[in-house]
Amino acid sequence: MALEIPKTAYSGKIREMKLGGGDKAVTVGGETAYPFYLFEGEMPHPPRIAMEVWDMQPEDWAPAALEPFKGVTDDPAAWARKCVDDYGAEMVCLQLLSTDPNGLDRGAEEAAAVVKKVADAVDVPLIVWGTANHDKDTEVLRLVAEVCQGRDLIMGPVEEGDYKKIGAAAIGYRHIVMASTPIDINLAKQLNILLGNLGVPDDLIVMDPTVSCIGYGIEYCYSVMERMRMAGLTQQDDKLQYPLICNISKEAWKTKEVHMADDELNMGDARKRGILVEAISATVLLMAGGDVMIMRHPEAIKLVREMIAELTAS
């Protein structure tokens, strides 16, 4: 019996998408095989990592996560610059936490001004992430879309409850929207169809499958992402052939375990533990098909970059 390694029968391809503009634009997607299955097909563009910046001083961050950004966490533009200059960020994700109606509830004008500042401070592709409150995100992201015209943002989350107005702004000012659904392949497909019907062109849509970290239900998004890739690559489901963005660092760093002290409950070094919870969560999501990882800690990012580089090494 001779060794015969079966090959998956692929019939589709993930859309190739340019994120951002100018020299620093990056391209993601284009896969013709399952994640890192380079022996079966192509992965022309390696997954990318966007470094997370908050639009407000973080209050509950573990010391390990705060330390690399000492001195800039009160200034989103300086923070973003530090990510690019000191940590080599290829993309930045600005999390608009301050606009949360259950929190600071900062107004749209103020939020948009901060986004503009960050957009001007760095030239890498910029993701702008709202709070998933439909009314507020609609207000904020529409204004953001306007003031950042020409910056080719990636913005969201856009959900069934607010896709029309944000989608229209994205078409008008040519930004990419992140179609966000709660860990469900059918809902994801449906939202992509709705966005298409609205007139959002295919090259302005990426998907946010809603992710969680290890220990907190990562298996759900893992399997949903695998199924999305299967549908897009082997079942010609062109409404699931968009690249996947995973907002993972926020999930990883808010867990109880990351905040425990050194050696508490046998969990070893707190700093390294936080880094590994983030890096391992991201690695798991890469295995499932993530194209962009939103991450926080420079050392976690370094570890994941090395994984990507070695998995795609020729």
To the nearest whole angstrom, how small is the minimum distance from the Cβ of residue 151 to another protein?
29
Q: Using the rule CB under 8 A, is 287 a contact of another protein?
A: yes
- Give whichever of 190 and 312 is closer to another protein, judged by the CB atom: 312
Tokens 């001007």 found at: 120
Q: Is 166 in the site for another protein (CB under 8 A)?
A: no
Q: Is 297 in the site for another protein (CB under 8 A)?
A: no
Q: By CB under 8 A, what part of segment 87-146 binds another protein?
A: 102-103
- Which tokens belong to 7? 């090959």
Q: Contact, 83 vs 296, CB < 8 A?
A: no
Burial class (CB in 10 A: 0-12, 13-18, 19+), 2: exposed
Return the SS3 of 142: helix
Q: Say how far apart CA 41 and CA 36 lie, in whole Å.
A: 9
Contacting another protein (CB under 8 A), which of 14, 126, 144, 214? 214
CB of 119 to another protein, least distance (A): 27
Residues 17-56 binding another protein (CB under 8 A) are 36-39
Min dist CB 216 to another protein, Å, is 5
Within 242-271, which residues bind another protein (CB under 8 A)?
254-257, 263, 265-270
Q: Which of 277, 293, 294, 295 contacts another protein by CB under 8 A?
A: 277
Side-chain half-sphere CA neighbours of 259 within 13 A: 8
Nearest distance in Å: CB 241, another protein:
18
Out of 226, 234, 237, 238, point to the residue binding another protein (CB under 8 A).
226
Alpha helix positions (H), the chain: 63-66, 76-87, 108-121, 134-147, 163-173, 185-198, 218-234, 249-253, 270-288, 298-311
**Whole-angstrom distance, CA of residue 198 vs CA of residue 171:** 9
Please report the sign of the dihedral spanned by the C-alpha atoms of residue 137, residue 56, residue 176, residue 21.
positive
Closer by beta carbon to another protein, 39 or else 71: 39
d(CA 23, CA 83): 18
Q: State yes or no: residue 6 binds another protein (CB under 8 A).
A: yes
Closest CA to 170 of 156, 188, 191: 156
Contact pick of 96, 195, 279, 294 for another protein (by CB under 8 A): 279
Residue closer to another protein (CB basis): 121 or 221: 221
The contact set with another protein (CB under 8 A) reads 1, 3-6, 36-39, 60, 102-103, 212, 214-220, 222-223, 226-227, 230, 254-257, 263, 265-270, 272-273, 275-277, 279-280, 283-284, 287-288, 299, 303-304, 306-307, 310-313
